[in-house]
C-alpha cells in the first residue's frame, strides 16, 4: 500500500478561541467531578452524548514497538488514564480527521493539571508501511504532542495483521480490500488500573465529554454515591457551560 499521507487541517479558530476558557475550566474540574460518582457521570454522559458507551472490562494487553523500536506494553501505562485509538498513516479520509480530534483532546488535557496523568496511544493497522520515521512524521503533521502521545506498530518479524488482531480485541474490524482498509472509528478510554471504561464512537462526540470522563478517572471518582445538591445538573453541565458548549 503506497499512498500519499493526507495531513489533517490545523485546529480551527473556534477551538483556539476556547483555550483560555478551557484552561480555567479544567483547573476546576477535580472539584466538580469529586462531588459525583462515576456511575452518575456515565449516566449523564450517556444521556447527553449519544456517541458515548460506558464499559467495564479488563483492557486487552498488547506488546508492540514505538517509532524508536522500543518495546511497549499497555501495562507500561498502568497508573495513567489511557486514550487509545487505531489508525494508519496512508488512510486518506477518516484517519486524519480522527487524529485531528485526538490532537484537540490532547490540547485540552495538556493545558490542565491532568497532563502527566493521561497518555495518548495510537496503534497503526498498517505495520508494513508505518515504521520508524513514518510514525514520527505523522505525529508531527497532525500536531500531536510527543510528550504524552505514542504511536505504536508491530515488529517486522511479526505477521502483517498483528495490529489488526489487536484492534479486533477492542471490538474493531480493519478489513483490507484493494489497498484500502475499511474500518470504524472508536476512541477508547482505559483507567489507571488497566480497565477499559468507555468508548467514544465516531467523530461526532463532544470533546468535553471525553475530557470530563478522563478527569473523573484521573481523580479516581468513586463508583457510587449521591448527587450533589449544590450542582443538581451534574459535572458535565457545569464544565460544558463554562466552556460555552452546553446543549
- Residue at 11 is within a domain: no
- Residue at 18 is within a domain: no
What count of other Cβ atoms lies within 10 Å of the Cβ of residue 31? 11
Secondary structure of residue 28 in the 3-state scheme: helix
Q: Residue holding cell 458548549?
A: 245
- Residue at 93 is within a domain: yes
- Residue at 23 is within a domain: no
118: domain CATH number is 3.40.30.10
- Residue at 26 is within a domain: no
- Residue at 160 is within a domain: yes
* Contact yes or no for 61/73 (Cβ under 8 A): yes
Find the domain containing 168 and state its range. 37-224+232-241
Q: Which three cell numbers stand for residue 157?
A: 518479524
- How many separate domains does the chain show? 1
- Residue at 168 is within a domain: yes
Strands (E), the chain: 52-58, 63-65, 71-73, 81-87, 118-124, 149-152, 175-177, 180-182, 186-190, 195-201
Per-residue pLDDT of the chain (247 residues; tens, 9 = 90+): 444 444 444 444 345 445 544 554 555 455 454 446 888 889 999 999 999 999 999 999 999 999 999 999 999 999 999 999 999 999 988 999 999 999 999 999 999 889 999 999 999 999 999 999 999 999 999 999 999 999 999 998 999 899 999 999 999 988 877 777 878 899 999 999 999 999 999 999 999 999 999 999 998 775 544 444 444 445 455 455 444 443 4
- Residue at 95 is within a domain: yes
pTM over 0.85: no
Amino acid at each position: 500500500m503506497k499512498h500519499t499521507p493526507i495531513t489533517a487541517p490545523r485546529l480551527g479558530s473556534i477551538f483556539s478561541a476556547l483555550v483560555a476558557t478551557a484552561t480555567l475550566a479544567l483547573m476546576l474540574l477535580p472539584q466538580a467531578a469529586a462531588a459525583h460518582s462515576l456511575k452518575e457521570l456515565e449516566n449523564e454522559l450517556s444521556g447527553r452524548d449519544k456517541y458515548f458507551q460506558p464499559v467495564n472490562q479488563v483492557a486487552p494487553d498488547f506488546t508492540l514497538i514505538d517509532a524508536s523500536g522500543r518495546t511497549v506494553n499497555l501495562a507500561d501505562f498502568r497508573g495513567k488514564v489511557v486514550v487509545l485509538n487505531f489508525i494508519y498513516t496512508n488512510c486518506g479520509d477518516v484517519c486524519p480527521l480522527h487524529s485531528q480530534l485526538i490532537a484537540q483532546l490532547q490540547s485540552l488535557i495538556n493545558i490542565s493539571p491532568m497532563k502527566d496523568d493521561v497518555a495518548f496511544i495510537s496503534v497503526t493497522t498498517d505495520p508494513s508501511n508505518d515504521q520508524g520515521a513514518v510514525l514520527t512524521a505523522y505525529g508531527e503533521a497532525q500536531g500531536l504532542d510527543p510528550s504524552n502521545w505514542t504511536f505504536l506498530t508491530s515488529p517486522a518479524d511479526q505477521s502483517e495483521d498483528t495490529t489488526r488482531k489487536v484492534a479486533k480485541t477492542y471490538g474493531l474490524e480493519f478489513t483490507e480490500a484493494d489497498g484500502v482498509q475499511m474500518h470504524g472509528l472508536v476512541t477508547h478510554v482505559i483507567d489507571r488500573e488497566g480497565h477499559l471504561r468507555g468508548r467514544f464512537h465516531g467523530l461526532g462526540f463532544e470533546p468535553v465529554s471525553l475530557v470530563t470522563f478522563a478527569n473523573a478517572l484521573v481523580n479516581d471518582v468513586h463508583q457510587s454515591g449521591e448527587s450533589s445538591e449544590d450542582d443538581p445538573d451534574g459535572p458535565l453541565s457545569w464544565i460544558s457551560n463554562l466552556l460555552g458548549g452546553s446543549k
